[in-house]
Amino acid sequence: MCRAIGRPVGRRLLAGSVVLALLSPAAQAGDGPLIWGVPLDFILFAATLLGVAIFHRHVLKVALGGLALIGVYKVMVTGFKAGDGLPGLAAHMAHEWVLLANLLCLLVGFALLARHFEDSGVPEVLPRLLPANWLGPFVLLLIIWLLSGFLDNIAAALIGGTVAASVFRRRIHVGYLAAIVAASNAGGSGSVIGDTTTTMMWIAGVSPLEVAPAYLAAAIALLIFGLPASLQQHRFQPIVGDLHTARHVDWARVMIIAFVLLAAIATNVTVNIFFSEAAAHFPFLGVAVWVALLLAVPLRQPEWSLVPEAVRGSLFLLALVVCASMMPVDKLPPASWLTTFGLGFVSAVFDNIPLTELALKQGGYDWAFLAFAVGFGGSMLWFGSSAGVALANLFPEAKSAGRWLLHGWHVPLGYVGGFYAMLWLSGWSPGTELAASVGNAPAAAAEPAR
C-alpha cells in the first residue's frame, strides 16, 4: 500500500506547498514568499524531510524529488547567493562539489573498509575481549566513542556496526543502532579531526583546546544513552561468544585498515595545517582514502560488489546535503548557550555543516558547546548525520524515524543531560573571535580566549 500511494501523496504534499505559497496573501520577501513568516525554501525542505520520515522505504526517490523541486524553485524564484538562474545554480554547485565529493568517497570507501574489517576475523575474536553480560554492549559503545576521536565518525559507526553484526548475530535492537551512531558522533565532538564540523572550526582559527571541553558533555552523554541502550541490546540479543568458532585474525586486512585510516588522518592534518585554502578546491580526504584502498589491492581485494549499493545509499545523503546548502541560512539569533542548545535539535533535521559555517561567521560562541551541539545533535534521527545514514545502509531496519525515536529515546536524553552538565560544570564562555570567514583564516592560529 505504501508503494501505491507514497509517490502521489508526496507529490501532492510538495506541490500543495508551492501553490499555497504562491496564491496566499502572505508577505513577499526579497528572497521569495513567506508562509507564516517562514521562507518557502524551508517549507519545501521540511516537506522533503517529512517525506523521508514517512516513506522510509523510498528515501532516495523522496530526497531526489525534493532536491529537484527546491532546485527549480531556487532557479526560477529566489536565485542563489552566487547569482540568479542556471548560472547561479552552476556557481553554487561549483562551491559545494568538494564537500559532496569528499562525502561520496568516504561513504563508499568506508563501506569497503568495513567489509575488510568484517573479513579480518577480528569481529569473531572480539567476544573474547567483551564482557559476556550487559556490560559487553556498553564496552563496544565505549570503543566506538574512543575510535571516533581520531577516525571519521562515519568510519567509527561502520566499524562498530560491523562488530555488532558479528557479536550479536545481526540481531541488533534499533535503540542500540541509535546508540552506535550517538557514540560515534559524541566521540568526535571534542576532536578537531573527529568530525567535519570541528575540522571546520580548526580551519577557521579555533584552537583545538577550545573544542576539547566538548568531551565533558560527550562522556556524560555516553553514560546517559549508553547504559539503557546496552540493556536493550542485552535483553534483545546477548553477545554470542562461542570461542570455538573464532578464527584466526587476517593481519593483512588489519594492516590495510590501519594504512587507510592513517592515510586519512595524515591527509586531514596536513591539509588543514599547510594547505587550508586549497582544501576548498579539491577533495583531499576522500581521494586519500581511495588511493590508500587501491594501493592495498595487491595485498587483499576489497569486496567490489558492495560499491553499487553503497553509491545508492550515499546519493540519498548527498541529495539532502545539497538541499540544505540551498537554504537561505542568512542569520541566526544572537549567540548564547540557549541558541546553541537549540542548534542541537535543528541539526537532527538540518545539515550541520551550513549551521557551523554560519556560526563561525557570526562569532560569539563557546566553541566546545557548539561542537557538541551540532556534532551530537544529528544522532537524534537516523538521517540527521552521515554516520546514521551510513549505518542505516547496513541495517535497513533503522530507516524509520518513528522507530528510531521510540527505541532511541535515550539519545535526546543524553544530549540534554550532557549539554546541561557541561553548562553547570564549566559555564558558558565565548571563545576566540574570528577575524576571517571560513576557509580564509590560518588553521589553529588563534589561542583560547578563556
pLDDT at 417: 96
Residue 38 has phi, psi (to 5 degrees) of: -110, 130
pTM of the full structure: 0.67
Count helices and strands (H / E) in the chain.
20, 3
Buried/exposed 89-119: b ≥16 CB within 10 Å, e otherwise: beebbeebebbbbbbbbbbbbbbbbbbbbbe
pLDDT at 21: 38
pLDDT at 269: 77
For residue 314, what are the CA distances in angstroms to 104, 111, 163, 304, 307?
Answer: 6, 10, 21, 16, 10
Is the separation of the CB atoms in 227 and 175 below 8 Å?
no
Nearest Cα to Cα of residue 355 among 384, 319, 318: 384
Long-range CB pairs of 397-401, under 8 A, 24+ apart, other chains included: 397/174, 397/177, 398/174, 398/177, 398/178, 399/56, 399/57, 399/59, 400/56, 400/174, 401/52, 401/53, 401/56
Q: Which residues of the chain have pLDDT under 70?
A: 1-32, 37, 53, 56, 123-124, 126-127, 151, 203, 241-247, 329-332, 351, 353-354, 434-450
pLDDT at 23: 35
- Partners of 91 in the β-ladder: none
